[in-house]
Amino acid sequence: MLRKKIVLGFLTGLATLVLIGCYKDRTVLSDTGEEITRPVSFAGDIVPILNSSCNVSGCHASGGIKPDLSAANAYLSLTNGGYISTSNAQTSPLYLWMTGKKGTPMPTSGVKKDYNALVLAWIKQGAQNN
């Protein structure tokens, strides 16, 4: 009887450790490519990224999933929607989504280190509408 209790206790503990050990609460991927130190332009650097990867039918185009990342609306959607934190760029929801640290990486085709580096630099530089 005591032996059965010990075996049962051991199996229960083992099952608990396996379940706890397999818990996954977020995807953590590598951050960026090399840090960008040159001035980053929203119109010249960020909008082309959004147009090629985000502002497509069924995703973040006008009338699609928020935020609206169409060229005409992207800046206001990002800044007024709370997707940018210039005080701590690495915690900006936009950057976290792009790196896969806040759910599925955006774009869904996978993390693009060069894009992430440009977006991070743009946010660090004050997220200007330039």
pLDDT single digits (tens) 58-99: 899 988 899 999 999 999 999 999 999 999 999 999 999 999
What whole-number distance in Å separates Cα of residue 101 and Cα of residue 27?
A: 6
Question: What is the Cα gyration radius of the chain?
Answer: 21
pLDDT-derived band at 1 (thresholds 50, 70, 90) equals confident
Residue 17 is predicted with a pLDDT of 45
45 assigned to some structural domain: yes
Q: In terms of residue numbers, what domain contains 90? A: 31-124
In a domain, 2, yes or no: no
pLDDT at 122 over 90: yes
In a domain, 54, yes or no: yes
Mean pLDDT of the chain: 83
Residue 7 has pLDDT above 70, yes or no: no
95 domain-assigned: yes
Domains of the chain: total: 1
Is 129 inside a domain boundary? no
Long-range contacts of the stretch 56-64 (C-beta < 8 A, 24+): 59/107
CB 114 within 8 Å of CB 45: no
In a domain, 111, yes or no: yes
* pTM beyond 0.85: no
